[in-house]
Chain A
Amino acid sequence: MSEPPPARLPAGLRLPFDPLLALAAIGLMAASLVTLQASTSTDVPGDPYFYVTRQAVFFVVGTLVAIVLSRIDYSRLRELKYGIYGLMIAGLLLVAIFGGDTRGSRRAIQLPFFEVQASELGKVLLIAALAAFVVDRSRRLGERDTTARLVLVAMIPAIFVMSSDLGSGLVYIAILFAVLFVAGVSWRHFAGLLTLAAVSITLVLVAAPALGVTVLESYQVERLTSFLEPSSVAGDAGYQQNQSRIAIGSGQKTGRGERATQSPLNFLPEDRTDFAFAVVGERWGFAGAGLVLSLYALLVWRGLRILTVAKNLYGALIAGGIVAMLLFQVFINVGMNVGIMPITGIPLPLLSYGGSSVLSTLLAIGLLQSIYAQGRFAAATKRRSLPF
């Protein structure tokens, strides 16, 4: 660059940031704390703030990491792509070997203070690595070989995650599709990939059980199909979905506030993680749930906006991956809460309680801020003005 930036110190702190994106994140974090306070005040006897405090700590740590990340040029991550990819695979392997079981799914490594869910952090790592691999082959994007390699790169961790946690695995695949899509992979390849996906789904759901091969555990199949007709399923999944709908529906326009019963009396299962949105719906009604949804819409809109202001393809791809990750998780989780999506155990970004999920989402937001900052900075230095 011929023109050095104006000499103001320190450089990192003067980088611009996207206030709307920050607003959405802060709004959601606040909503999470308020919701958790409502739903968990009696969960731990004698300590009504047990979960709120912990979630707040996750938020503080996550926000600090995000701020630091947003002041760094994300482009440097490209150089570390093998390291990032390796870290992700290593993390998943460690979980597979040492991880503890939660409800039939092996997801986390127990650490002294909290457990690390490698599959959560892996989402962001995959985005960073996959985007880097795409950029490496950006001149040969039309080739089938490129698409195949990229699919392979993403599918290795995806299948790995899916083996224990189907929902999170699907997030990996959503990321893959989004990155390929933003990269400009040809429509034909997409058509081929979709066909492949359809065939493998058929194999897993229909052909394999017929041959007596168990690919999906019966509880997984039940979860995936119960949303079609919740009350007809006597088992756990149908019950959860029914209770969630009752919770949300009973909130009506403005919510039941302190008169809420579904969550306080434990009819609503997993009310601090998977079904946190239903708590919002019951307590604060359409007003509250709509506000939370709007914050997510804001988040996604800013993500797409940042995609367009990225200073390079790498940034655009990362932004695309992050948008897909957030959009997919929000839609699946909220859809599950309102009874139009299957139960998959995907947390609602920032709203659900859990350190790994919070950290991974805040990492993603930090990355978006970095892309925004770098994009704006590059534009400013090039005297190119972009519309806000």
Chain B
Amino acid sequence: MMMEPTGDRRTPITPQLALRVALLGGVALALFAVVFFRLWYLQVLSGDKYLAEARVNRVRELRIQAPRGKIVDRNGRVIVRNRQAVVVELDPAKLPDEERENAAEWGKRAGERLARPKGKRGEPIPYPPIANRALEVRYRNLGAVVGKSARRIHREVVRSLVLVPYSAIRIKTDVPESVLAHISERPERFAGVKVEKTYLRDYPHDTLAAQILGTVGEITPKQLKDPRYRGVQQGTVIGTDGLEREYDRYLRGVDGVERVQVDAFGRPVPNSALKREEPIGGQRLRLSLDLALQKTGQLALGNIGGGRPGAFVALDPRDGQVLGMGSYPTFDPAVLTKPFTQKRYEQLTGVGGVGPLFNRAISGRYPTGSTFKAITALAGLEKGLITPGAVIDDAGCIQVGEIERCNAKKQAYGSVDLSRALQVSSDIYFYKLGINAFYNDGDRGDVVIQRYARKLGFGRPTGIDLPGEDSGVVPDKKWRAERNQAEIECRKEKKIPQSLNVYAAGAQGCGIADGRPYNLGDTVNVAIGQGDLQATPLQLAVSYAAIANKGRVVVPHLGREIERANGELVQRIERDPASRIKMDEEDRQAVADGLRRAAGEPGGTSADVFAGWPHGELPVFGKTGTAQTSKGDQSWYVAYVPAKQPIVVAVTVERGGFGAETAAPIACRMLAKFYRVENAACVGGESVTR
């Protein structure tokens, strides 16, 4: 029935075939065993691990930025708040490899160029071309939206890739909402572009208190390792300067995390909200600052100062709370919340670092002029070198060593006691006191006044809650010797002959000191606040506060309370306790009397500035100062009012002329504002003395 072709007969299983079938079966068995064991290993033994990996796969964590706390003044008026802004960023991972390689190469060459000494660097390294045509189109699309050219974006990308290779490249901060919508709706046109909302600091009062508020910025890799920022996540915005830095841990808040389930293309899966950690907004910082006083101070400093640099400080003498602090020139801190050009930066920092960013109230060191006489007087009284009632003859000039020194305009005041000497600011009285101090100081001559000054806070930082405070200088033998040594070493290093005079040496880069030892002239200079004595406005305010306080030297501070966003108190900010200096009440009264007469009685150095002031109810205890510097007269005024609500104010204006001309009227306006005095003149005085 069926054809059975040759060679295909029914073949019973031969032993050979059986063997081969068995072998085939064995192979099959082995292969299945391998796969089974592998399955067992993956699913039963390592299942937990892979389940976790599957979770990691699908869950994306998105940071939700926590708003920083507000900063408010003592009455709760907002000084710094937040506003939402849209930023446009590029994801470096979405750039072609070639662009990144080009950037790395450029960075290497530019780095080598910068490593060479100035002048031998040669031409700047040209930027590499845009990696490819497609990328150029991407840059152009993006540029059209944010208003930049493709080349400019390319350059920014290259620089960012060199500096922070893995960070998102910020193309533009603060674009309109419409740009957010435009870009989000066209992902294909804007590959790798991220548009996000972020908080920017917002300053409703523009330049108000600009120098003390400080800046914020994303934490740097270096700061991440700093114990100060332990536990802070990468990408967090922290305070980088000023109060923002000082109170960062309260203001910062905790960023939240939003977990979303995403598919393999990174698209969020609808209805898949996972656990979300809400951001915790930063706490509110209440300052001791009085916004109205601050505004008046800044306005007066700008107007009366006539564009000359200057600064003011106002303290509550009882506890050192800062009621106002300003520095001129100033700036709008909002400019620091966005990227700015190098030119703008140089303009802000200024030549020698004394531009608008520089806070002269705590970092500016100036010779104090006659404002220091109150301290000299207290030191002399304390040491018993003078008594309140002792009278000297002020003939207008006096011989100090080989030099004749005179009052301003050689004015002679005749018989003056301490109170009168302060009222009219007699230099002769204090020269004599200086000479006295020098010769009644054992074999040193540099102790009496200087030690007292240091106890009052000169020559060291006051400890205010702001970074960048200057110590000032209280010159003595040791200090002078150090300066001379520094001059010698500087000349050695720069190969300037040691015999050259100090001015010639100064022109060549040293000129630190003239090499002479400490002598009588130094002490006499210190006695009237001249020479090498230098102090910050804040130090002067603190020392006058001590006079008002009967010897309590306070630690000034701006931060007052930490509060919740709704104003509920969380904690008061504790400052270092004030130190005490021995101050005999009778002596203090004598000095205070002089200060009061200077501001409030005819003939006083600032009496005409305070014309119309109600001295009866609000006695002003104030002293002018005029420090002669190589650039001109440094105008000073320091005053306190021991009213129910006391205040101490220190004002200085560089090249401002006599103390009564610019500094005193500014202080007067501030006091008038503080005490709501309406008919005070507060105009430049005609004082003849410093």
Contacts and interface: CB of A to CB of B under 8 A. Distances in A.
Given A246-B50, A246-B57, A314 B269 contact: no
A307 B1 CA distance: 23
Given A75-B2, A327-B27, A338-B42, 17 more contacts: A135-B8, A138-B7, A139-B7, A182-B20, A184-B16, A243-B57, A261-B261, A265-B263, A265-B269, A286-B40, A293-B39, A301-B28, A304-B24, A313-B8, A327-B31, A338-B39, A340-B35
Interface residues of A, number: 60
B28 A327 contact: yes
A136 B42 CA distance: 48
A49 interface: no
B57 A267 contact: yes
B5 interface: yes
A331 B34 CA distance: 9
* Residue in B25, B261, B262 whose Cβ sees the most chain A Cβ within 10 Å: B25
B115 interface: no
Contacts of B48: 252
A316 interface: yes
Contacts of A253: 43-44, 47
A164 B483 CA distance: 85
A320 B5 CA distance: 21
Contact of A178 (B7, B24, B38): B24
Interface string B25-66: 101100110111011101110111111011101100000000
Contacts of A115: none
Nearest to B263: A265
B46 A181 contact: no
B134 interface: no
Interface string A319-350: 01001100100010011001110000000000
A320 B48 CA distance: 41
Contacts of A252: 43-44, 47-48, 51
Contacts of A181: 20, 23-24
Contacts of B57: 243, 246, 261-262, 265, 267
A78 B5 contact: yes
B340 interface: no
Contact of B42 (A243, A245, A300): A245
A281 interface: yes
A73 B24 CA distance: 25
Given A78-B5, A248-B42, A267-B57, A316 B265 contact: no
Interface in A239-254: 243, 245-253
A304 B57 CA distance: 43
Contact of B24 (A184, A311, A323, A339): A323
* Residue in B16, B28, B31 whose Cβ sees the most chain A Cβ within 10 Å: B28
Interface of A: 1, 4, 73, 75, 78, 135-136, 138-139, 178, 181-182, 184, 243, 245-253, 256, 261-262, 265-267, 269, 281, 285-286, 289-290, 293, 296-297, 300-301, 304, 307-308, 311-314, 316, 320, 323-324, 327, 331, 334-335, 338-340, 378, 382
A118 B504 CA distance: 97
B43 A73 contact: no
Contacts of B10: 311-312, 378, 382
A296 B39 CA distance: 15
Nearest to A323: B24
Contacts of A249: 42-43, 46-47, 49-51, 53
Nearest to B27: A327
A304 B25 contact: yes
B11 A316 contact: yes
Contacts of A78: 5, 8
